[in-house]
Structure 1
Amino acid sequence: MSEMLLTPHTQVDGAVLGGDFVGRAARLKQVPDDKAMLRAVAELTRDLAAPNPRIFWSDFLVSALVGYAGLAVAIMSGTLWVQCAAALVSILGLYRAGGFIHEVTHVKHSALPGFRFGFNAVIGVPLLVPSYMYEGIHNLHHARTRYGTDQDPEYLPLALMKPWTLPVFIIVSLLAPIALLFRNAVLAPLSLFIPALRKVVVERYSGLAINPAFRRRPAEGDAHRNWIVQETAASIWSIALLTGVFTGFIPLQSFLIFLAIVASVAVLNQVRTLVAHLWENDGEPLSVTAQFLDSVNVPPPGLLAEIWAPVGLRYHALHHLLPSVPYHALGTAHKRLTAQLAPDSAYHHANYDGLAGLVYRLARSTLVRGA
């Protein structure tokens, strides 16, 4: 089995081994489950499932504080280089703080009382991405029979698509702040009075999804109540923000700086999403091991991945094996598995060197496909 895994999925020093990109989807569907790996994953990580509230709260609040402090300096400073430096700090801080939406989706809320509320109050609503837009969406990406299919809201076969899809994928994220403002300030209130519009808003404009064919179902019970509360808060905030700008209470320049920083956060996240998977599945259900091999780990010793893939996202492939393990424990899990699993284990074939090599691999795949 190791030989079958090596050709389509191994990267060495940023180079891609094997050029048959089109055939990879077919080979991926033939990958059986590595039972030894899956057994080791379960046995070696049993003690890592509990989130540490001190780590969660301190990391999240410090990241948000740094992000908002940078935003304030970028708005108030009259010196261009200071504004640029502060904006960069703000982007990185808010990007890391925003990454906790992923943890909110997976964590047991009883283990972290108040964290969902804290996230939405500090980041989710102010940045127009309340957690209901990810909760109930992201878990479908982890469903055994949905991953990589047209029912997966977070998957597109990008490696098998045309070259123009990659720049479009990134450029679209630039418009995210404007689209979210319009959704919350205009569409959401109007949809309360127009049932047909409400159906469209719920199905197509209420989830952080990249699959345009995906349609969201209405939430029920507690999830529905959380949705309404968060959506209402986001609508009030959006209307207040736009009213402040149109009345002159909020200077236009300050508003544009805010939009630029939020848009930059969205672009950075979109780039990270671009390399979270190899995107080589053509729509068929895969084995758990195949799903793992279609995903990406960028483990240490590289340091940059902690910036562009924060809050455990550098271990995205491992996360697909351990979705309930909190972000701060994934590094420990990776070390244990790397040390214990045999050299021919599938686990060693999902590790990559960095962002540049992954982007090159994906771009080359689309160019071959489009030729």
Structure 2
Amino acid sequence: MNVQQTIDPAAASAPPAAPRARVAIADDKAMLRAARDLTKDIATARPAIYWTDTLLSAGLGYAALAGAILVDSVPLAIALGLVAALALYRALLFIHELSHIHRDALPGYRLAWNVLVGVPVLTPSFMYEGVHTLHHARTRYGTVEDPEYLPLALMKPWSLPLFVAVALLAPPALLFRFAVLVPLGAILPPVRKLVWERFSALSINPDFRRRPPEGELRKRVFWQELGGSLWAIALIGSTFAIGWRPLLIALAVLSLTAVLNQLRTLVAHLWENDGEPMTVTAQFLDSVNVPPPGWVAEIWAPVGLRYHALHHLLPSMPYHSLGEAHRRIAAHLGGESTYSAANHPGMVPLVLRIARSTMGRGRSEA
């Protein structure tokens, strides 16, 4: 996850040599109706799946991380670190589910997830709740008011590797945020305001400013920030007793997780919108499904995120139902439908497509 891991679009992008003619994409009402009607019976979150998946992913991640810290063999430590990164990545991505599921759907799950995953990896759920739903707002997607959108395909070629590489800094930045900035903000209101507006959301849009929390979220923010701050201070304090090695290994593992998430973010959309509002179908086609038969996408886009385009049609569909929803809709609409146009073969072709777009813009400016 990235905390304002941004690239200034004013610096990274440049206007094309000639204005692009935009063709408005009308909503495919048959597709929207099929997505709604064919999936009503699988739209309920199943607590046993959520709890089991989360506990197993987090347990495996922490066990592998402990092994990476304790073993003497460098190759074994690297292998265990990779397992830890992948397992914790999966556990962490349940934050996405928390931003969509009804508050009464999984009693106790939000608190348990924050205790087991959110606070320990310094990414509590408030950093996504109330933010990610803005990305799904009908009139915000792809505009300057979307916290999770940058027109990456319209930027310069160097913006893509920078977008991915900056994720390496996320774990130490989060440690600094919770250990230093949060306590400082408790004393100095201007610091508190700055931290909340700029460094309290999993956002990639540098122009996004978070509004003050309201209602139930306000109380959750207080307790999650307090827990995160105490944990971050304890982590730094532990170095005086056990040295820096354990913390540095943990930060390295979480940096790998952050980079993997940033790569997934890079291919979650085609990033071809230039800021204009879009229809639901246009938003769908700017988003990406990477369905079976390939299995690798389940590693880099777990917890249903391989069906990201479908998720934009059915934001509240639980992750464990997205595969079945995809099969039903695809079978009903057929291979020549609008729905099939959002299906892509994998990460590499998507990265190459975006890279070709940026390089084409670079040549047009030369």
TM-score by length of 2: 0.93
Confirm or deny that 1:266 pairs with 2:275. Answer: no
- The residue number in structure 2 matching 1:3 is none
Residue 123 of structure 1 is matched in structure 2 by: 117
Equivalent pair of 1:34/1:345 in contact (CA under 8 Å):
no
* Aligned with 1:187 (options 167, 173, 181): 181
**Distance in 1, Cα, partners of 2:293 & 2:62:** 30
**Larger deviation: 37-46 or 138-147?**
37-46
Q: Which of 353, 356, 361 is 1:361 aligned to?
A: 353
2:294 aligned with 1:294: no
Distance in 2 between residues matched to 1:22 and 1:65, nearest whole Å: 53
Note if 1:65 corresponds to 2:59. yes
Matched AA of 1:138: H
CA RMSD of aligned residues (A): 1.4
CA contact (8 A) 1:109 1:115 kept: no
Matches within 5 A, 1:137-286: 137-245=131-239, 247=240, 249-286=241-278
Shift of 1:343: 4.1
Residues 1:43 and 2:37 aligned together: yes
Aligned AA (2:187): F
Instruction: Report the equivalent of 2:304.
Output: 312
Q: Aligned pair 1:54/2:48, yes or no?
A: yes
- The change in CA–CA distance for 1:230 and 1:205 in structure 2 (over 3 A counts) is same
List per-residue Cα deviations over 1:226-275 (Å, max 9, x = no partner).
01110110000001111111x2x132111110010011100000000000
Structure 2, gaps ≥5 residues long: 1-15
Amino acid in the other structure paired with 2:340: H
Q: 1:366 to 1:240 in 2, by over 3 A?
A: same
* 3-state DSSP of counterpart to 2:187: coil
Given the alignment, which residue of 324, 344, 354 partners 1:352?
344
Measured after TM superposition, the shift of residue 212 of structure 1 is 0.5
How far, CA to CA, are the matches of 2:249 and 2:169 in structure 1? 14
CA distance change for structure 1 residues 194 and 306 in 2, over 3 Å: closer, same or farther?
Answer: same
Runs of 4+ in 1 over 2 A off after TM superposition: 21-27, 342-345
Find the aligned partners of 1:63 and 1:347 in 2 and give their Cα distance: 32
What CA deviation, in whole Å up to 9, does each residue of 1:281-323 have, x standing for no partner?
Answer: 0001000000000000000000000000000000000000000
Deviates further, 193-202 or 229-238: 193-202
Task: Provide the C-alpha distance between the structure 2 equivalents of 1:136 and 1:128, rounded to a whole number of angstroms.
Answer: 18
CA distance in 2, matches of 1:26, 1:181: 45
Q: What secondary structure does 1:273 align onto? A: helix
The share of aligned pairs that are identical, in percent, is 59
What SS does the aligned partner of 1:93 have?
Answer: helix
Deviation at 1:221, TM superposition (A): 1.3
The count of aligned residue pairs is 348
For 2:97, the aligned partner's letter is: E
Task: Pick closer, same or farther for the CA change 1:120–1:23 going to 2, 3 Å.
Answer: farther
Matches of 1:37 and 1:22, distance apart in 2: 36
Matched residue, 1:8: none
Aligned-residue offset at 1:107:
0.8
Aligned residue type for 2:24: Q
Does structure 1 residue 102 correspond to structure 2 residue 113?
no
Kindly report which structure 2 residues correspond to 1:13-52, keeping only aligned pairs within 5 A, or say none: 26-27=21-22, 30-52=24-46
| Contact 1:295-1:316 at 8 Å conserved across structures | yes
Q: 1:270 corresponds to which letter in structure 2?
A: Q
How far apart are 1:109 and its partner, in Å? 2.4
| Amino acid of the structure 1 residue aligned with 2:216 | D
For residue 111 of structure 2, what is the amino acid of its counterpart? F
In structure 2, the CA distance between the partners of 1:54 and 1:24, relative to structure 1 (3 Å rule), is farther
Mapped partners of 1:24, 1:148: distance in 2? 18
- The equivalent residue for 1:15 is none
Give the deviation of 1:48 after TM superposition: 1.7
Partner of residue 91, structure 1: 85
1:160-214 Cα distance to aligned partner (Å, 9 max, x none) = 0011111111111100011111111111111112111111111101000000110
Going from structure 1 to structure 2, the CA distance change for 1:30 and 1:23 (only over 3 Å counts) comes to: farther
- Residues in 2 aligned to 1:282 and 1:304: alpha-carbon distance in whole angstroms: 31
